[in-house]
Amino acid sequence: MSELEKEIHKRRTFAIISHPDAGKTTLTEKLLLFGGAIHVAGAVKSNKIKKTATSDWMEIEKQRGISVATSVMGFDYDGYKINILDTPGHQDFAEDTYRTLTAVDSVIIVVDSAKGVETQTRKLMEVCRMRRTPVMIFVNKMDRDGRDPFELLDELEEELKIGVCPLSWPIDSGQRFKGVYNIFHEKLDLYTPSKQTVTESVEFKDISSPELESHIGDNLAAKLREDIELIEGVYPSLDIDVYLKGEVAPVFFGSALNNFGVRELLDCFVQIAPSPRPVEAIERIVKPEEPNFTGFIFKIHANMDPNHRSCIAFVKICSGKFERNVNYKHIRLNRMLKFSSPTAFMAQKKETVDEAFAGDIVGLPDTGNFKIGDTLTAGEDLHFKGLPSFSPEMFKYIENADPMKSKQLQKGIDQLMDEGVAQLFTNQFNGRKIIGTVGQLQFEVIQYRLLHEYGAQCKWEPINLFKACWIESDDKDQLEDFKKRKSQYMACDKEGRDVFLADSNYVLNMAQQDYKDIKFHFTSEF
C-alpha cells in the first residue's frame, strides 16, 4: 500500500446527528476525551442556538463563534485519524446540517432511550438514506428509565426505515441499569452507578456459562439469555457490506454522560466505519486514492469581525493530497488559486497545515471566491454533485429599507445566498425578491448580518405561499402555457431555473392535475 493509501485508509470522517437534547454534545465530548484531544469534561460547548430574546444578537454571534471552533474536530485514536463534523443543533439551520452530511463518509445517530425517534432524527435520516450513508445508532441515557429495548429497535426500523442490528444489549435500565452484553466484542460490560464508566469488562464468548449469574444474578442472567436468543432469531448478524450500503444500522446502548458504552462504540466504529468513499462528479466517479487532489466546498463560515469581510470556506478533500501554496483550479471561476494559510482542525484548535489527505476537511480563508458546491482540482475539469436544495418552508418578501444602500443590500443578499444561508427566488412578474428558509430564525440572522456586515437594511413583508417547486417538462408548449397562465406565480431561483410558487396545497394539486406533462419537483436537483 502506498503512503497515500495508508493515510486515506486510516481516516474516518463522520457526523453525529440527533434531535436536540438526545446527547450529541456529550457523546462528542467523550469521544474527544478518548482521543486525548481534550482533557476535561465540559470543554465542548453545545452549538445549540438558544433563543433567549429576539434582540439578543450578541448571543447568537457568540454561539456562531462556538460553532466555527467546533465545525470539525480531528483527533488520532488507535492508529486512526478521526474527523467529527459538527452539525447545528437548531432545526432552523437544518440546511446547514444537510450540507454537512455531503462531506461525511458515515454518521452516528444518537437517540434518547426514553424518547425514541424524534422529528429531527427522522428528517436527517432521510438525507442519509438519499446518499446511502452508512449509519450507526447509539441509544443514549440508559441510566434513565427508558423504553423496552425491543420496542425501541422496532421503532428505529419503522421510523428510520433502516434495518437494525444490535451489537450490544442492555441489562435492565434506569436505576437498575447493570450494563450491557457487548455482542460485537463478546464481553460483559458492567456498570456501577456511583463509579460510572465501565467498572468491569469480562470476556464472555458463551453466555450460557453459569458464570453469568455470578455477575448479574439469576433473574437478569435468565432474561439476558432469553433476549440474546431472541435477537439471534430475529436480527441478522452483522454484515459489514450491508452496513456500508446504508441498509442496516448497528446499534449500541449506553450512557454518554456516564461515559458508558462510548469506548465500545468507538472501537467498533473505527473497525467497521468506512474510510473515505468514492465521490460522484458529473463527469465521473472520483476515487479517494487517486493521487491528484480534488475537493468541494460544503460550508462557508462568515467572519464574526465585521471589519474584515473574510470567510472560511470548508473543503472536503475527495481524493489525493492537498498541499499548501500549490496552485489548484477553481472550476467555476476557471482560475488557478493557491492557499498560503489553509487550516486543519485538530481537537478544538485551528492550525495552519502543509498537507491534508482525502477524508480531511481544510478551512480556506476566502474573500468571496467560493460558493457552496464549488469544486477545486489539480487541473481536471470536474464538478462534484452536491446536495439538492430542498423546497423551503417559510417565505417572505425582502425589501430595501434604506434607499441609499441598495447596492450594499444587493451584494449582501447575493453573498449570503452563496453561503447557503437561505434561498432566493425572484418573481418573474414583478421582480420582487422572495427569501425562502426552513425556520424563522434564519430571517432574523439575515437581517442582522445584512446590517452588520454590509451596512444594509432590509425589511420583511409577508407573502402567502405554501410551497415553491421547480418545474420542467418535455412538452414545451404545455410548459409555456402554464407559465403564461400562472405568470404572477412564476419565479426564478438563483440559477435562473423556473420555480412555481403555489399559494395553497389546493392550487398545487389542481396544477398537478391540469398539467399532467409538467413535473413538479420539491428539491432542486432532478
State the binding site for GTP. Answer: 18-25, 86-90, 140-143
Sheet of strand 467-473: strand arrangement: 458-462, 394-400, 433-437, 423-427, 490-492, 498-502, 467-473, 518-521
147 lines the binding site for ligand GDP (CB under 6 A): no
Distance in Å, CB of 161 to ligand GDP, minimum: 22
State the Cα torsion 380-381-386-389 to the nearest 10°.
160
Member of 140, 319, 427, 442 binding ligand GDP (CB under 6 A): 140
Neighbouring CB atoms inside 10 A of 392's CB total: 20
Distance in Å, CB of 91 to ligand GDP, minimum: 11
Beta strands in 19-122 (DSSP E): 72-77, 80-85, 106-112
Distance in Å, CB of 180 to ligand GDP, minimum: 13
Member of 10, 123, 144, 287 binding ligand GDP (CB under 6 A): 144
255 lines the binding site for ligand GDP (CB under 6 A): yes
Grid coordinates given for 158: 419503522
Do 313 and 297 form a contact (C-beta atoms < 8 A)? yes
What are the DSSP calls for 410-451, one per residue? HHHHHHHHHHTSSEEEEETTT--EEEEESSHHHHHHHHHHHH
Q: Which stretch binds ligand GDP (CB under 6 A): 23-31, 301-309, 490-498, 516-524?
A: 23-31
Grid coordinates given for 49: 442556538
Distance linking the first and last C-alpha atoms of the chain? 39
Residue 271 CA to residue 456 CA, distance in Å, equals 51
Please tell me the count of residues contacting ligand GDP according to CB under 6 A. 19
Member of 9, 81, 141, 467 binding ligand GDP (CB under 6 A): 141
Member of 25, 83, 100, 415 binding ligand GDP (CB under 6 A): 25
168 lines the binding site for ligand GDP (CB under 6 A): no
Residue 311 CA to residue 303 CA, distance in Å, equals 5
235 SS3 class: coil
Distance in Å, CB of 140 to ligand GDP, minimum: 5
Q: Which stretch binds ligand GDP (CB under 6 A): 230-238, 256-264, 344-352, 427-435?
A: 256-264
Member of 9, 12, 24, 321 binding ligand GDP (CB under 6 A): 24
Q: In angstroms, what CA-CA distances link 422 with 368, 375, 418?
A: 17, 21, 9
Member of 20, 163, 174, 388 binding ligand GDP (CB under 6 A): 20
45 lines the binding site for ligand GDP (CB under 6 A): no
143 lines the binding site for ligand GDP (CB under 6 A): yes
Residue 44 CA to residue 26 CA, distance in Å, equals 8
Distance in Å, CB of 199 to ligand GDP, minimum: 16
Distance in Å, CB of 256 to ligand GDP, minimum: 4
In the window 287-306, what residues touch ligand GDP (CB under 6 A)? Answer: none
Q: Which stretch binds ligand GDP (CB under 6 A): 22-30, 272-280, 320-328, 332-340?
A: 22-30
503 SS3 class: coil
Do 167 and 268 form a contact (C-beta atoms < 8 A)? yes
In the window 75-134, what residues touch ligand GDP (CB under 6 A)? Answer: 89
Member of 251, 256, 361, 450 binding ligand GDP (CB under 6 A): 256
257 lines the binding site for ligand GDP (CB under 6 A): yes
State the Cα torsion 495-500-502-505 to the nearest 10°.
-100
Q: Which stretch binds ligand GDP (CB under 6 A): 100-108, 140-148, 169-177, 322-330?
A: 140-148
Which residue ranges make up the annotated binding site? 18-25, 86-90, 140-143
Grid coordinates given for 403: 434607499
193 lines the binding site for ligand GDP (CB under 6 A): no
Residue 328 CA to residue 227 CA, distance in Å, equals 56
Q: Which stretch binds ligand GDP (CB under 6 A): 18-26, 65-73, 171-179, 462-470?
A: 18-26
Residue 161 CA to residue 447 CA, distance in Å, equals 38
SS (H, E, C) 292-332: CCEEEEEEEEECCCCCCCCEEEEEEEEECEEECCCCEEECC
Q: Which is nearer to ligand GDP, 120 or 437 (CB)?
A: 120
Member of 5, 10, 21, 519 binding ligand GDP (CB under 6 A): 21
Distance in Å, CB of 285 to ligand GDP, minimum: 34
416 lines the binding site for ligand GDP (CB under 6 A): no
Binding site for ligand GDP (CB under 6 A): 18, 20-26, 46, 48, 89, 140-141, 143-144, 255-258
